[in-house]
Structure 1
Amino acid sequence: MAPQTSETLTAERILEATEEVLRRHGPAKATVVDVARALGVSHGSVYRHFRTKAALREAVTKRWLDRTTGVLAAIAAQDRDPEARLRDWLAALFEAKRRKAGDDPELFATYSVLAGESVAAVIEHLTELTGQLTRVVQDGVDAGTFTVADPAVTARALFQATGRFHDPGYAGEWEKPGVQEEFTALVDLLVRGVKA
Protein backbone atom coordinates (compact mmCIF):
# COMPACT_ATOMS: atom_id res chain seq x y z
CA MET A 1 0.00 0.00 0.00
CA ALA A 2 1.31 3.46 -0.84
CA PRO A 3 2.47 5.69 2.02
CA GLN A 4 0.03 8.38 3.12
CA THR A 5 0.19 11.46 5.23
CA SER A 6 -1.72 11.60 8.49
CA GLU A 7 -3.98 14.28 6.90
CA THR A 8 -5.39 11.71 4.43
CA LEU A 9 -5.60 8.94 6.98
CA THR A 10 -9.18 8.12 7.99
CA ALA A 11 -10.64 5.76 10.55
CA GLU A 12 -12.20 3.73 7.73
CA ARG A 13 -8.83 3.24 6.00
CA ILE A 14 -7.28 2.19 9.28
CA LEU A 15 -10.07 -0.34 9.82
CA GLU A 16 -9.60 -1.74 6.30
CA ALA A 17 -5.87 -2.11 6.89
CA THR A 18 -6.47 -3.66 10.30
CA GLU A 19 -8.74 -6.27 8.75
CA GLU A 20 -6.03 -7.13 6.23
CA VAL A 21 -3.37 -7.34 8.95
CA LEU A 22 -5.64 -9.57 11.04
CA ARG A 23 -6.21 -11.80 8.02
CA ARG A 24 -2.44 -12.16 7.51
CA HIS A 25 -1.21 -12.42 11.10
CA GLY A 26 -4.20 -13.46 13.20
CA PRO A 27 -5.37 -11.74 16.39
CA ALA A 28 -2.52 -12.99 18.57
CA LYS A 29 0.27 -11.56 16.39
CA ALA A 30 -1.31 -8.50 14.73
CA THR A 31 -0.05 -5.22 16.16
CA VAL A 32 -0.77 -1.54 15.71
CA VAL A 33 2.73 -1.22 14.26
CA ASP A 34 1.76 -3.79 11.58
CA VAL A 35 -1.32 -1.73 10.74
CA ALA A 36 0.71 1.49 10.56
CA ARG A 37 3.31 -0.21 8.37
CA ALA A 38 0.58 -1.44 5.99
CA LEU A 39 -0.68 2.15 5.72
CA GLY A 40 2.78 3.67 5.39
CA VAL A 41 2.35 5.86 8.48
CA SER A 42 3.69 5.95 12.01
CA HIS A 43 1.87 4.01 14.71
CA GLY A 44 1.24 7.39 16.37
CA SER A 45 -0.94 8.31 13.39
CA VAL A 46 -3.08 5.25 14.02
CA TYR A 47 -3.30 6.10 17.73
CA ARG A 48 -4.65 9.56 16.85
CA HIS A 49 -7.75 7.81 15.50
CA PHE A 50 -7.89 4.91 17.97
CA ARG A 51 -6.44 5.68 21.40
CA THR A 52 -5.57 2.08 22.24
CA LYS A 53 -5.05 -1.27 20.54
CA ALA A 54 -8.18 -2.47 22.31
CA ALA A 55 -10.18 0.44 20.87
CA LEU A 56 -8.95 -0.41 17.38
CA ARG A 57 -9.84 -4.08 17.80
CA GLU A 58 -13.28 -3.15 19.17
CA ALA A 59 -13.90 -0.82 16.21
CA VAL A 60 -12.91 -3.41 13.63
CA THR A 61 -15.12 -5.98 15.37
CA LYS A 62 -18.08 -3.57 15.38
CA ARG A 63 -17.53 -2.84 11.69
CA TRP A 64 -17.59 -6.56 10.94
CA LEU A 65 -20.75 -7.14 12.96
CA ASP A 66 -22.47 -4.11 11.42
CA ARG A 67 -22.21 -5.64 7.94
CA THR A 68 -24.80 -8.22 9.01
CA THR A 69 -26.92 -5.75 10.95
CA GLY A 70 -27.46 -3.47 7.96
CA VAL A 71 -28.79 -6.22 5.68
CA LEU A 72 -31.18 -7.42 8.36
CA ALA A 73 -32.37 -3.90 9.20
CA ALA A 74 -33.56 -3.50 5.62
CA ILE A 75 -35.67 -6.67 5.90
CA ALA A 76 -37.10 -5.67 9.29
CA ALA A 77 -38.13 -2.26 7.94
CA GLN A 78 -40.01 -3.58 4.91
CA ASP A 79 -43.72 -2.91 4.63
CA ARG A 80 -45.00 -6.38 3.81
CA ASP A 81 -46.36 -9.55 5.36
CA PRO A 82 -44.81 -9.99 8.84
CA GLU A 83 -44.62 -13.78 8.53
CA ALA A 84 -42.65 -13.53 5.28
CA ARG A 85 -40.41 -10.87 6.85
CA LEU A 86 -39.80 -13.05 9.89
CA ARG A 87 -38.84 -16.01 7.70
CA ASP A 88 -36.66 -13.84 5.45
CA TRP A 89 -34.95 -12.15 8.41
CA LEU A 90 -34.05 -15.46 10.06
CA ALA A 91 -32.89 -16.90 6.72
CA ALA A 92 -30.78 -13.82 5.97
CA LEU A 93 -29.15 -14.02 9.41
CA PHE A 94 -28.26 -17.67 8.88
CA GLU A 95 -26.98 -17.01 5.35
CA ALA A 96 -24.89 -14.00 6.40
CA LYS A 97 -23.21 -15.93 9.21
CA ARG A 98 -22.71 -19.00 7.05
CA ARG A 99 -21.22 -16.91 4.24
CA LYS A 100 -18.80 -15.19 6.65
CA ALA A 101 -17.64 -18.53 8.01
CA GLY A 102 -17.37 -20.23 4.62
CA ASP A 103 -15.91 -17.45 2.48
CA ASP A 104 -12.99 -16.62 4.76
CA PRO A 105 -12.64 -19.17 7.58
CA GLU A 106 -9.39 -17.68 8.90
CA LEU A 107 -10.88 -14.20 9.20
CA PHE A 108 -14.06 -15.67 10.71
CA ALA A 109 -11.96 -17.42 13.36
CA THR A 110 -10.11 -14.16 13.98
CA TYR A 111 -13.34 -12.26 14.46
CA SER A 112 -14.67 -14.93 16.76
CA VAL A 113 -11.64 -14.29 19.00
CA LEU A 114 -12.09 -10.52 18.74
CA ALA A 115 -15.81 -10.78 19.51
CA GLY A 116 -14.88 -12.54 22.74
CA GLU A 117 -12.76 -9.52 23.66
CA SER A 118 -15.25 -6.90 22.46
CA VAL A 119 -18.11 -7.51 24.83
CA ALA A 120 -19.65 -4.05 24.37
CA ALA A 121 -19.69 -4.37 20.56
CA VAL A 122 -21.25 -7.83 20.76
CA ILE A 123 -23.91 -6.72 23.25
CA GLU A 124 -24.76 -3.75 21.03
CA HIS A 125 -24.97 -6.07 18.01
CA LEU A 126 -27.24 -8.56 19.77
CA THR A 127 -29.42 -5.76 21.13
CA GLU A 128 -29.83 -4.31 17.66
CA LEU A 129 -30.66 -7.69 16.15
CA THR A 130 -33.28 -8.53 18.78
CA GLY A 131 -34.67 -5.01 18.37
CA GLN A 132 -35.15 -5.62 14.66
CA LEU A 133 -36.81 -8.94 15.37
CA THR A 134 -39.05 -7.27 17.95
CA ARG A 135 -40.20 -4.82 15.28
CA VAL A 136 -41.15 -7.67 12.95
CA VAL A 137 -43.02 -9.51 15.72
CA GLN A 138 -44.80 -6.30 16.82
CA ASP A 139 -45.85 -5.65 13.22
CA GLY A 140 -47.22 -9.20 13.13
CA VAL A 141 -49.21 -8.60 16.31
CA ASP A 142 -50.51 -5.27 14.94
CA ALA A 143 -51.56 -6.98 11.69
CA GLY A 144 -53.28 -9.84 13.55
CA THR A 145 -50.82 -12.35 12.07
CA PHE A 146 -49.09 -13.19 15.35
CA THR A 147 -50.56 -13.69 18.80
CA VAL A 148 -47.98 -13.13 21.50
CA ALA A 149 -48.19 -11.41 24.87
CA ASP A 150 -44.85 -9.57 24.68
CA PRO A 151 -43.17 -9.03 21.27
CA ALA A 152 -39.77 -8.27 22.85
CA VAL A 153 -39.77 -11.49 24.90
CA THR A 154 -40.93 -13.45 21.86
CA ALA A 155 -38.21 -11.89 19.69
CA ARG A 156 -35.52 -12.88 22.18
CA ALA A 157 -36.95 -16.40 22.33
CA LEU A 158 -36.94 -16.67 18.52
CA PHE A 159 -33.37 -15.42 18.40
CA GLN A 160 -32.22 -17.87 21.07
CA ALA A 161 -34.14 -20.78 19.55
CA THR A 162 -32.34 -20.28 16.23
CA GLY A 163 -28.92 -19.87 17.85
CA ARG A 164 -27.55 -23.02 16.23
CA PHE A 165 -27.89 -21.25 12.90
CA HIS A 166 -26.16 -17.97 13.76
CA ASP A 167 -24.00 -18.45 16.87
CA PRO A 168 -20.36 -18.73 15.68
CA GLY A 169 -19.85 -21.63 18.08
CA TYR A 170 -21.90 -23.77 15.70
CA ALA A 171 -20.11 -22.69 12.49
CA GLY A 172 -18.71 -26.18 11.98
CA GLU A 173 -22.25 -27.52 11.52
CA TRP A 174 -23.41 -24.97 8.95
CA GLU A 175 -22.21 -26.87 5.88
CA LYS A 176 -23.24 -30.36 6.99
CA PRO A 177 -25.75 -32.21 4.80
CA GLY A 178 -29.34 -31.52 5.80
CA VAL A 179 -28.66 -28.34 7.76
CA GLN A 180 -30.83 -26.21 5.47
CA GLU A 181 -33.74 -28.61 5.90
CA GLU A 182 -33.25 -28.55 9.68
CA PHE A 183 -33.25 -24.75 9.63
CA THR A 184 -36.44 -24.63 7.55
CA ALA A 185 -38.17 -27.15 9.85
CA LEU A 186 -37.23 -25.10 12.93
CA VAL A 187 -38.46 -21.84 11.39
CA ASP A 188 -41.73 -23.52 10.35
CA LEU A 189 -42.21 -24.72 13.93
CA LEU A 190 -41.43 -21.31 15.41
CA VAL A 191 -43.74 -19.47 13.01
CA ARG A 192 -46.58 -21.86 13.83
CA GLY A 193 -45.95 -21.09 17.50
CA VAL A 194 -46.44 -17.33 17.09
CA LYS A 195 -49.23 -17.32 14.51
CA ALA A 196 -52.69 -16.20 15.47
Structure 2
Amino acid sequence: MVAYFVLAMTLFFDDAYEEVMRKLVDGLRFLRSWDEDWQLPTSSALCQARARLGAEPIRELARVARPLAGAGTPGAWLGDLRVMAIDGVQLDVPDTADNEDAFGRGVSQGLDAPYPKVKVLGLGECGTHAVIDAHLGGVLVDERELAPLAGQCRTRDARACRPRVLQPRILAGGHCDRRRIAVAGAVSTEIARSHRPG
Protein backbone atom coordinates (compact mmCIF):
# COMPACT_ATOMS: atom_id res chain seq x y z
CA MET A 1 0.00 0.00 0.00
CA VAL A 2 2.90 2.35 0.73
CA ALA A 3 4.25 1.94 -2.82
CA TYR A 4 0.81 2.92 -4.19
CA PHE A 5 0.85 5.87 -1.80
CA VAL A 6 4.25 7.04 -3.09
CA LEU A 7 3.02 6.81 -6.69
CA ALA A 8 -0.21 8.62 -5.80
CA MET A 9 1.79 11.48 -4.28
CA THR A 10 3.07 12.30 -7.77
CA LEU A 11 -0.50 12.46 -9.08
CA PHE A 12 -1.88 14.51 -6.20
CA PHE A 13 1.23 16.61 -5.49
CA ASP A 14 -0.76 19.56 -4.15
CA ASP A 15 -2.51 17.44 -1.49
CA ALA A 16 -1.35 16.70 2.05
CA TYR A 17 -0.17 13.15 2.83
CA GLU A 18 -3.41 12.28 4.64
CA GLU A 19 -5.53 13.50 1.72
CA VAL A 20 -3.54 11.40 -0.77
CA MET A 21 -4.03 8.30 1.40
CA ARG A 22 -7.73 9.13 1.81
CA LYS A 23 -8.15 9.24 -1.98
CA LEU A 24 -6.49 5.81 -2.32
CA VAL A 25 -8.60 4.23 0.40
CA ASP A 26 -11.88 5.80 -0.74
CA GLY A 27 -11.56 4.00 -4.07
CA LEU A 28 -11.06 0.69 -2.27
CA ARG A 29 -13.98 1.36 0.07
CA PHE A 30 -16.19 2.07 -2.95
CA LEU A 31 -15.22 -1.36 -4.32
CA ARG A 32 -15.92 -2.90 -0.90
CA SER A 33 -12.29 -4.04 -0.74
CA TRP A 34 -11.30 -2.28 2.46
CA ASP A 35 -11.89 -2.77 6.20
CA GLU A 36 -14.24 -0.05 7.45
CA ASP A 37 -12.53 -0.07 10.88
CA TRP A 38 -9.21 1.00 9.37
CA GLN A 39 -7.98 4.38 10.62
CA LEU A 40 -6.24 6.91 8.39
CA PRO A 41 -2.54 7.17 9.41
CA THR A 42 -1.10 10.49 10.53
CA SER A 43 1.25 12.47 8.32
CA SER A 44 4.16 11.42 10.55
CA ALA A 45 3.25 7.72 10.24
CA LEU A 46 3.04 8.03 6.45
CA CYS A 47 6.44 9.75 6.34
CA GLN A 48 7.96 6.92 8.42
CA ALA A 49 6.34 4.31 6.16
CA ARG A 50 7.90 6.01 3.12
CA ALA A 51 11.31 5.88 4.80
CA ARG A 52 10.88 2.15 5.57
CA LEU A 53 9.86 1.46 1.97
CA GLY A 54 13.01 3.11 0.60
CA ALA A 55 13.77 3.72 -3.05
CA GLU A 56 14.38 0.15 -4.23
CA PRO A 57 10.74 -0.94 -4.85
CA ILE A 58 10.02 2.19 -6.90
CA ARG A 59 13.34 1.79 -8.75
CA GLU A 60 12.43 -1.84 -9.53
CA LEU A 61 8.98 -0.77 -10.75
CA ALA A 62 10.58 1.71 -13.13
CA ARG A 63 13.02 -0.98 -14.33
CA VAL A 64 10.33 -3.51 -15.22
CA ALA A 65 7.79 -1.04 -16.63
CA ARG A 66 7.47 -1.43 -20.38
CA PRO A 67 5.61 0.34 -23.15
CA LEU A 68 1.93 -0.61 -23.02
CA ALA A 69 0.64 0.28 -26.48
CA GLY A 70 -0.66 -2.60 -28.55
CA ALA A 71 -1.12 -2.66 -32.31
CA GLY A 72 -4.62 -1.16 -32.07
CA THR A 73 -4.00 1.47 -29.39
CA PRO A 74 -5.36 4.80 -30.73
CA GLY A 75 -2.77 7.56 -30.98
CA ALA A 76 0.14 5.25 -30.14
CA TRP A 77 1.59 4.80 -33.60
CA LEU A 78 2.58 6.86 -36.62
CA GLY A 79 3.05 4.19 -39.26
CA ASP A 80 5.27 1.64 -37.55
CA LEU A 81 6.80 4.20 -35.16
CA ARG A 82 5.81 4.52 -31.51
CA VAL A 83 4.68 8.10 -30.70
CA MET A 84 6.52 9.39 -27.64
CA ALA A 85 6.62 12.68 -25.74
CA ILE A 86 8.70 14.23 -22.99
CA ASP A 87 7.30 16.42 -20.25
CA GLY A 88 8.76 17.89 -17.10
CA VAL A 89 7.36 18.63 -13.66
CA GLN A 90 8.74 20.03 -10.41
CA LEU A 91 7.90 18.20 -7.18
CA ASP A 92 8.45 19.22 -3.56
CA VAL A 93 10.73 16.88 -1.63
CA PRO A 94 11.26 16.65 2.15
CA ASP A 95 13.02 19.65 3.67
CA THR A 96 16.41 18.09 4.44
CA ALA A 97 19.94 19.42 3.99
CA ASP A 98 20.73 16.52 1.62
CA ASN A 99 17.75 17.33 -0.62
CA GLU A 100 18.57 21.03 -0.63
CA ASP A 101 22.19 20.27 -1.60
CA ALA A 102 21.14 17.80 -4.31
CA PHE A 103 18.19 19.66 -5.86
CA GLY A 104 18.02 23.25 -4.59
CA ARG A 105 14.97 25.23 -3.58
CA GLY A 106 14.21 27.39 -6.55
CA VAL A 107 13.01 30.97 -6.31
CA SER A 108 9.49 32.35 -6.51
CA GLN A 109 8.89 36.11 -6.61
CA GLY A 110 12.40 36.74 -5.28
CA LEU A 111 12.05 34.38 -2.30
CA ASP A 112 13.43 30.89 -1.76
CA ALA A 113 10.80 28.18 -2.15
CA PRO A 114 9.66 26.69 1.19
CA TYR A 115 10.83 23.17 0.23
CA PRO A 116 13.58 21.77 -1.97
CA LYS A 117 12.26 20.77 -5.40
CA VAL A 118 13.28 18.02 -7.78
CA LYS A 119 12.78 18.43 -11.52
CA VAL A 120 11.49 15.24 -13.15
CA LEU A 121 11.65 14.77 -16.92
CA GLY A 122 9.54 11.83 -18.06
CA LEU A 123 9.41 9.95 -21.37
CA GLY A 124 5.91 8.69 -22.08
CA GLU A 125 3.85 6.93 -24.69
CA CYS A 126 1.33 9.30 -26.24
CA GLY A 127 -1.24 6.56 -26.85
CA THR A 128 -1.35 5.23 -23.27
CA HIS A 129 0.10 8.14 -21.26
CA ALA A 130 2.41 5.60 -19.58
CA VAL A 131 5.69 7.06 -18.34
CA ILE A 132 8.38 4.57 -19.34
CA ASP A 133 11.53 6.46 -18.35
CA ALA A 134 12.38 9.45 -16.17
CA HIS A 135 15.41 11.55 -15.29
CA LEU A 136 15.77 13.61 -12.10
CA GLY A 137 17.72 16.79 -11.54
CA GLY A 138 17.95 20.00 -9.60
CA VAL A 139 15.16 22.54 -9.85
CA LEU A 140 17.35 25.01 -11.76
CA VAL A 141 18.60 22.47 -14.32
CA ASP A 142 17.30 23.04 -17.85
CA GLU A 143 15.06 20.17 -18.99
CA ARG A 144 17.23 19.68 -22.08
CA GLU A 145 20.16 18.80 -19.81
CA LEU A 146 18.26 16.10 -17.90
CA ALA A 147 17.93 13.63 -20.77
CA PRO A 148 20.98 12.56 -22.77
CA LEU A 149 20.84 13.87 -26.33
CA ALA A 150 21.49 10.43 -27.84
CA GLY A 151 18.76 7.88 -27.37
CA GLN A 152 15.95 10.14 -26.19
CA CYS A 153 12.88 11.53 -27.88
CA ARG A 154 12.26 15.27 -27.51
CA THR A 155 9.12 17.36 -27.58
CA ARG A 156 8.88 20.31 -29.95
CA ASP A 157 7.95 23.03 -27.51
CA ALA A 158 9.43 26.51 -27.68
CA ARG A 159 12.64 25.50 -25.93
CA ALA A 160 13.21 22.30 -27.92
CA CYS A 161 12.88 23.89 -31.38
CA ARG A 162 16.36 25.38 -31.35
CA PRO A 163 18.75 23.91 -33.93
CA ARG A 164 21.25 22.67 -31.31
CA VAL A 165 18.52 20.40 -29.91
CA LEU A 166 16.98 19.31 -33.22
CA GLN A 167 20.22 18.25 -34.88
CA PRO A 168 21.32 15.73 -32.18
CA ARG A 169 17.75 14.38 -32.07
CA ILE A 170 17.85 13.53 -35.76
CA LEU A 171 21.34 12.03 -35.37
CA ALA A 172 20.02 9.83 -32.54
CA GLY A 173 17.40 8.36 -34.88
CA GLY A 174 14.37 10.40 -33.82
CA HIS A 175 11.84 11.55 -36.36
CA CYS A 176 10.57 15.10 -36.06
CA ASP A 177 7.23 16.20 -37.47
CA ARG A 178 7.78 19.95 -37.90
CA ARG A 179 4.07 20.60 -38.44
CA ARG A 180 3.04 19.43 -34.98
CA ILE A 181 4.00 20.20 -31.41
CA ALA A 182 4.92 16.61 -30.54
CA VAL A 183 7.75 14.50 -31.88
CA ALA A 184 6.96 11.06 -33.19
CA GLY A 185 9.88 8.76 -33.25
CA ALA A 186 11.73 5.61 -32.73
CA VAL A 187 15.09 6.43 -31.22
CA SER A 188 18.20 4.48 -30.34
CA THR A 189 17.00 2.99 -27.03
CA GLU A 190 15.51 -0.50 -27.10
CA ILE A 191 12.24 0.57 -25.47
CA ALA A 192 11.50 3.50 -27.74
CA ARG A 193 12.71 1.75 -30.91
CA SER A 194 10.20 -1.07 -30.59
CA HIS A 195 7.94 -1.28 -33.63
CA ARG A 196 4.22 -1.85 -33.82
CA PRO A 197 3.33 -5.34 -32.53
CA GLY A 198 2.00 -7.91 -34.97
Superposition TM-score, scaled by structure 2 size:
0.29
Superposition TM-score, scaled by structure 1 size:
0.29
* Larger proportion of strand: 2
